[in-house]
Amino acid sequence: MSQQPLKEPFERIDAANAKEIYDGQRAIWIDVREPSEWNDGRIPGSTLVPLNTLLMSPRKYLNGDNVVFYCAQGIRSAVACEVAAAVGLTKIHNLEGGMIDWVAKGFPVEK
């Protein structure tokens, strides 16, 4: 008897799907990178909450559903997604490929 893989409590989305959500203004965008990375460029309208800060007090920052988390590549943001699920959020997205893919696609960036 084989075990079914566990379903993740969040949706992994690529840059193109993320851009559709962004264009529809249907989500809260949280950047979990460090301030120096944020200063190099970020998705317009997003909020900086470094991962360690989020881990220390998630309920302070996660008070609404339909959140897109992103980082440089999608690894730290996947951890943030797990934290969001642990505090009860149900509509959670991880930008796979992070800012690297977002920028490569030519999507909006502000500095």
Of 3.50.50.60, 3.40.250.10, 2.40.30.30, 3.90.550.10, the CATH number of 11-104 is: 3.40.250.10
pLDDT at 12: 96
Residue 16 to residue 19: CA distance in whole angstroms = 5
pLDDT given at position 1: 52
**CA–CA separation, 105 and 56 (whole Å):** 33
Rounded to whole angstroms, the Cα distance separating 10 from 84 reads: 9
Q: Round to whole Å and give the CA distance between 49 and 81.
A: 13
**pTM for the whole thing?**
0.93
Interior angle at CA 81, CA 76 and CA 84, nearest 5: 130
Spell out the domain ranges in the chain. 11-104
Tens digit of pLDDT per residue, the chain (111 long)? 556 667 889 999 999 999 999 999 989 999 999 999 999 999 999 999 999 999 999 999 998 899 999 999 999 999 999 999 999 999 999 999 999 999 999 999 999
